[in-house]
A and B are shown apart, each in its own frame.
Chain A
Amino acid sequence: MNERSRISHFANSEAPLDIARYIESGGYVGLMAALGKTSAEVIGVVKNSGLRGRGGAGFPTGLKWESVAAGEQPYLVCNADEGEPGTFKDRFILERAPYLVLEGMTIAALAIGAREGYIYVRGEYPEIAKMLALATEKAKARGYLGNDILSSGFSFDVAVRVGGGSYVVGDETALLNSLMGNRGYPMLKPPFPTEKGLWGKPTVVNNVETLAYVPIILGLGAQAFASIGSVNCPGYKLFSLSGHVANPGVYEFPMGTRLRDVLEKAGGVTGTLKAIQIGGTAGPIFGPAALDYNLDFPSMQKAGGALGSGAIVAMNTSVNMAHVLEVTMRFFAQESCGQCFPCRYGTRQLDYMAHRIALGLGKVEYLDLMRETATVMVGASFCPFGQSVALPLKSLLDEFGDEIVSFMTEQQYLKEVSE
């Protein structure tokens, strides 16, 4: 397998801003290939590669680019808001291979006809924003960005913006609101950003990792990428491993790799595996049966979960699931943007009940009430955030409900004896 089909190949932790080294390692081959093609041809290559968005939803990237409404000058936005706990793969890319992302953006801009792009960097990553600003300067100085890129007649400029919002600002519509200086509230779809986005203009929002694979695809050809990983979900994927694993960090595997193999590569689970959360806080919490899951979008969906951002959090038997419930619900309550009633009030109640349970003050009725609350939130939340609480909550209650109940009973008992 070609080393150059991996992001890790381009990762340079010592001198990430050294553009000459980036070029040496094969950088800007993709852009040069793209400059020799028409927009439609570039989109064609990306479509044929089978690339699916790495931001969480797995939407086919070529299709997204193709759906950009004709007529008005579109914008391109790189989503570097990465707010998901346990996810740090975009940071990995930006810190080690900033030019790969800039190159991917330039190719995407060429494909959709954008002349201006934004990188929206999470507020907690200020150094990365500074680094990206430097990288854009250097790329411009070398003619890889800015006016008349590599004398092709094509011009594209990138501005770096530092975010300041909650986790929800990572949602593309909320991110666009934030970029426009509005409160980071998600907007209703349709219209999709590709029809009406930034300042009413068609806009493509892509994740950092998605864009980082774009130069790779253009450089190697669609076929080379499509032949890696799962048939309907090809290519490599970055996984952020944390929790009770021997060597936490970012790992790159072909799509469809079994979870067991991924964990093994990270030195295995420390202690005895009890639970594992895949896809971020909004993903379900599985029991050890998940070890045999294939990690790609369709397989995870079939398993009742989601690949999401590729976050994998391992928990060993030292973990109290009542505590996991509390932490998870607190996350939702703290990050809810508050725009819609079901999520604003629902997350508050879930947080309250989970907190009471963890304190040993819970009531058994809470468990049903929490499920009912999740049903309300799935049915009537405004954006996917509020709807997504159900996955971790229901999986926790289904898989570990007995443990939580006996924890509550035990706490109740201890209290009674101490009185």
Chain B
Amino acid sequence: MSVSLTVDGNKVTVPDHTSVLEAAAAAHISIPTLCRHEDLVPKGACGMCIVKIGGQTGFKRSCVTEAREGMSVWTSSPEIRDIRRGILELVLAAHPADCLQCIKHGKCELQTLAERFEIRDLHYDRYTRGLPVDQTSLGIVRDMNKCIGCGRCVEMCNETQTVASIFFRGRGADTIVAPTIGKSMGDSVCVNCGQCVVYCPVGALYEREQIDEVWKAIDDPDKIVVAQIAPAVRVAIGEEFGLEPGELCIGKLYSALKGMGVDVVFDTNFSADLTILEEGTELLGRIREGGPFPLITSCSPGWIKFCETFYPELLGNVSSCKSPQQMLGALIKTYYATQREIDPARLVSLSIMPCTAKKFEARRPEMNASGLCDVDFVLTTREIARMFRQAGICFADLDESAPDPLLSGYTGAATIFGASGGVMEAALRTAYELATGKSLARIDFSEVRGMQGVKEATVDMDGLAVKIAVTNGLGNARKILDTISAANKLGKPSYHFVEIMACSGGCIGGGGQPLPNTQAKRARRMEGLYMEDRGLALRKSHENPEVKRIYAEFLGSPGSSLAHKLLHTSYLDRREAASASS
């Protein structure tokens, strides 16, 4: 069903339950907003979107007003413009005049609106809040001096992610977003997923940058900087340089890293393939031994901390495999160092990730299998783009180049790790062949692809019906985890294999990806990964020649004791942290 209405005199027809704001957009009228976001529930906090509706008194918030048949909406009038300008001035008077130094400069929604409304001077006296900046977290910085109180982060953290690490606190103009009283970001239950950062319209929540440290390592002649690039970065970084979401930029990335002075460039896709060998072996072992089921993937560090905090009883179900980042980090300072006869202490291991939680993961005490810190620095997609700009690299125009051999070759199975369902699909491609010795006729598992939050399927593996589930976004994970937990308690089967990613859409929607990082853009990045997969000659992890070689020359077989020492890890029960903060 649809309704017809007029917006500023223009007739539009829109589906039932469309908001007046969206109806106006259909009439090519962009109503200004500060709190609304297309992916989130409209809250009506900012009041910028007010409109006049014929026959009704006062102004209505168009984001939360449904378009009705025959409505006449007026989106602009002297009163409306004055009120909008008034709200903006009120916000700006309370906001630090700090744009030039701000991490959101040029990407800030408040700045954009101030520009759109041509706010040249403020009638109000300015004031600052004088609040300390919370720098305690390895992933996320919280600067409440810049918070405008839109509530997006609160929705992300509480409703979408269900971590409930940050809330509104205080009242009126003193309202801030913060963890429970007595906690800071660093010791809260925050899992560092960065989804709050991604939706923050201003520079109040942002990634903890490590750009300066990385420049220092690059500039140090004694250091050899070895980089790795995660699957999801290659289809997103182009957005930072005017390219389309989903456009594959891996060749340019190799060139740019070399261009800015990185010595050796590897690819996390290599260790994604390696992960499949290790995790696939683990899965087959469990199938042989009849459990424990389900096996749950472990490559998303936000998910790992979530499990440690809220579902520690399921830690035995989680694969012991490290994430591909940490596997490669350990191999760089062992295998690569030995092969090239380099003192591992000279190696600086740098990883380029779509993720803010990886910054936390790299600092976990377990992550020094090489005897050194396996991954020294983690830069998000946004940070590496900043470094390219600082280095004057015209990324979009670069020629493509190849990575360094040894730890960079990959298959299509590895590249889809960046999308929700990708690890599952990659594992299925390999596990089937390893288990049966037969070649798989169909290698596209479309039932686990796509942006849906929960995907379930039963896959036939040579007569065994394997029940699988794939979730992305931690709130969605909870749904499956509660089922598993309940089934485990009763000793009943639930699933055989479960993939969980902390961020909506998987790593392509990670907290470190280019902004805006909307659901729509995530879907396009996802397509980009599947497109690369389709175009590759090798699409199964166990066919990766470099993977075969490292087992032959170094690791022995999947699940060997050396593999266990370097590629597997253990987890921590953080239940107490959860109860302390609730």
Q: Which residues of A contact B (CB under 8 A)?
A: 166, 183, 188, 333-342, 344-349, 352, 365, 369, 372-373, 375-376, 379-382
Contacts and interface: CB of A to CB of B under 8 A. Distances in A.
Nearest to B47: A380
Given A338-B149, A341-B35, A341-B90, 18 more contacts: A183-B167, A188-B44, A334-B171, A335-B171, A338-B173, A340-B46, A341-B45, A341-B149, A342-B90, A344-B173, A345-B93, A346-B90, A348-B94, A348-B172, A349-B93, A375-B83, A376-B83, A382-B61
B148 interface: yes
A302 to B, nearest CB: 17
Contact of A337 (B91, B124, B171): B171
B168 interface: yes
B159 interface: no
B9 interface: no
Contacts of A347: 172-173
Among A345, A369, A379, the one with the most B-chain Cβ atoms within 10 Å of its Cβ is: A345
Among B80, B83, B167, B168, the one with the most A-chain Cβ atoms within 10 Å of its Cβ is: B83
B90 A373 contact: yes
B312 interface: no
Contacts of A188: 44, 61, 64
A336 B58 CA distance: 21
A379 B46 CA distance: 12
Contacts of A341: 34-35, 45-48, 87, 90-91, 148-149
Interface residues of B, number: 37
Contacts of B34: 341
Contacts of B123: 365, 369, 372
Interface of A is mostly: helix
Contacts of A379: 47, 50, 58-59, 79-80, 83
A183 B43 CA distance: 14
Interface string B110-131: 0000000000000111010000
B175 interface: yes
A385 B93 CA distance: 22
A382 B80 CA distance: 15
Interface of B is mostly: loop
A340 B45 CA distance: 4
Contacts of B182: none
A259 B152 CA distance: 48
Contact of B173 (A336, A369, A372, A375): A336
A349 B174 contact: no
A379 to B, nearest CB: 4
B127 to A, nearest CB: 7
B171 A338 contact: yes
Nearest to B169: A183
Nearest to A365: B123
B290 interface: no
Contacts of A346: 90
Among B64, B90, B94, B167, the one with the most A-chain Cβ atoms within 10 Å of its Cβ is: B90
A382 B173 contact: no
B96 to A, nearest CB: 14
A102 to B, nearest CB: 32
A338 B83 contact: no
Given A349-B90, A379-B59, A380-B83, A342 B172 contact: no
Contacts of A373: 86, 90
B117 to A, nearest CB: 14
A373 B168 CA distance: 25
B168 A380 contact: no
B94 A338 contact: no
B124 A349 contact: yes
B170 A380 contact: no
A365 to B, nearest CB: 8
Contacts of A339: 45, 149, 151
B404 interface: no
A338 B59 contact: no
Contacts of A345: 87, 90-91, 93-94, 173
A391 to B, nearest CB: 15
A380 B87 contact: yes
B82 interface: yes
A366 to B, nearest CB: 9
B125 A352 contact: yes
